[in-house]
Amino acid sequence: MGYFQVFLLLALIPGSTGLDNGLLRTPPMGWMAWERFRCDIDCRKDPTNCISEKLFRDMADRLSEDGWRELGYEYVMIDDCWMSMQRGSDGRLQPDPDRFPGGIANLARYIHDRGLKLGIYADMGSATCMGFPGTTLDKVELDAQTFASWGVDYLKFDGCHSNAIEQSIGYPLMSKALNWTGRPIAYSCSLPAYLGGLPPNVNYSYLGNICNLWRNYDDIEDSWASVKSILDWYSTNQDDLQPAAGPGHWNDPDMLIIGNFGLSLDQAQAQMALWAIMAAPLVMSNDLRTLSADARAILQNRVAIGINQDPRGIQGRRLLQELGHIEVYWRPLSHSANALVFLSLRQDMPYLYRNSLANLNFPAGSFEAYDVFSGKTLSGLTDHTIFTVSINPSGVVMCSAVGEANLPLRGSVDLKITHKKYSACSY
């Protein structure tokens, strides 16, 4: 298909103003295969962990039976390597018949029967990142229709093996094609990551009209160094990135790796806290079948989830970088509440960090605070109270600010208090 034909098609597809699906008013939550299971397609040698129908059924069972679904973890997401190496005779993408013998539509029904939703992966280009069939411009509409016919609820659209012109046409074209199917399908775009992630190469106002969320930066790896790199990039560029986020359109710093092999317990709490502050998708990539009790407690922390899912949808910011290698992050919440995270980038020993709410630009008044991970509540703070928090190396103290109204938490935690002013945490 020539570019003139593509532009003509863009003009003719209904919903020509772009994305109009009303989805993801809060950041999506769920589970995705990629970081933990990669492109393991050898089901003969590794039947438990290979990218297959069985793996996604197993994870759907765990989400529905182990308390995840009730907390908001609702998407089961397939990433790369699910396809056959060739399209079918009708030109459609097709799953590998040995690894997905029941087909994607049957898998979608299995997932839907458990009160969950199915996400799938495709690539705007000649091939996916791992070499499976890509979605060229002439196949965008067909692939959108195929996903809708299967009962897919979420599309991650990557961009390997495509150029800037194809991307500039293909991403909005897929947005319109998904709308045209009539099925609500959340749309995750990888376009910013291929354009450097920042203005002027990325127009986030425009992107918010065609995508529900987008990858901006490098893929996460199973290490604290990777988490820190992503966090620092987002914080350094927060003036450009923060305004782009909001209900229905989110920055995506990539998956939660909590429960894998690269993070300590403190570092796992740090990723959960900071992803909540950043209004990031809470999409786990781990093995829910073997998850430790400690990892489960972090990922199922109702207050952290409530902060992440706050309906105002304002992405938080880094307020301070202290000389003692302590960073302070803040996010405003509904009902005039706030959340703070104190992060230690030290490697030596627990650090006693002292400050006051006045120094963090809080207004004059009385405050009450709730420690998200310890469960402690502290009353009687004023804006000039000097508080001290003890932060473990590469760990956090995360505090939820609560006011007269209950903090709106997904899964409902009752935190009624009496003060009219709001704060974060203290000891």
- Angle, helices 140-150/164-181, rounded to nearest 10 degrees: 40
Active-site annotation holder among 80, 158, 287, 310: 158
Active-site annotation holder among 58, 61, 219, 266: 219
Domain boundary (280, 308, 336) is at 308
pLDDT of residue 382: 86
pLDDT grade for 372, boundaries at 50, 70 and 90? very high
pLDDT at 335 exceeding the cut of 90: no
pLDDT of residue 424: 36
Is 42 in the active site? Answer: no
User: What residues make up the domain containing 200?
Assistant: 3-308
Residue 413 lies in a domain: no
Residue 266 lies in a domain: yes
Do 246 and 221 share a structural domain?
yes
Do 146 and 76 share a structural domain?
yes
Do 333 and 256 share a structural domain?
no
Cα separation, 151 vs 137, whole angstroms: 22
Is 240 in the active site? Answer: no
In degrees, rounded to 5, the angle at the alpha carbon of residue 132 between the alpha carbons of residues 127 and 136 is 35
Do 330 and 293 share a structural domain?
no
CA distances from 353 to 210, 327, 386, 391, 400 (A): 43, 10, 10, 7, 18
Q: Which of 349-353, 380-384, 412-416, 420-424 has the highest mean pLDDT?
A: 349-353
The string of pLDDT tens digits covering residues 138-147 is 999 999 999 9
Do 286 and 145 share a structural domain?
yes
Q: The tokens of 92 are what?
A: 């459609």
* 28: preceding bond cis by omega (within 30 degrees): no
The string of pLDDT tens digits covering residues 122-174 is 999 999 999 999 999 999 999 999 999 999 999 999 999 999 999 999 999 99
Do 325 and 291 share a structural domain?
no
Do 382 and 254 share a structural domain?
no
Do 284 and 202 share a structural domain?
yes
Do 155 and 75 share a structural domain?
yes
22 and 178 Cβ atoms separated by less than 8 Å: no
Domain boundary (255, 274, 308) is at 308
Q: Which residues contact 113 (CB under 8 A, 6 or more apart)?
A: none
Residue 425 lies in a domain: no
Residue 35 lies in a domain: yes
The string of pLDDT tens digits covering residues 231-276 is 999 999 999 999 999 999 999 999 999 999 999 999 999 999 999 9
Query: Which of 201-210, 285-294, 376-385, 415-424 is the least confident region?
Result: 415-424
Domain count, the chain: 2
CATH code, domain carrying 367: 2.60.40.1180
pLDDT of residue 363: 85
The candidate with the shortest Cα–Cα distance to 185, out of 159, 150, 149, 148, is 148
The candidate with the shortest Cα–Cα distance to 127, out of 89, 58, 80, 91, is 80
Question: pTM of this prediction?
Answer: 0.92
Residue 367 lies in a domain: yes
Q: The tokens of 9 are what?
A: 């098609």
pLDDT of residue 409: 29
Mean pLDDT for all residues in the chain = 90
The string of pLDDT tens digits covering residues 380-396 is 888 899 999 999 999 99
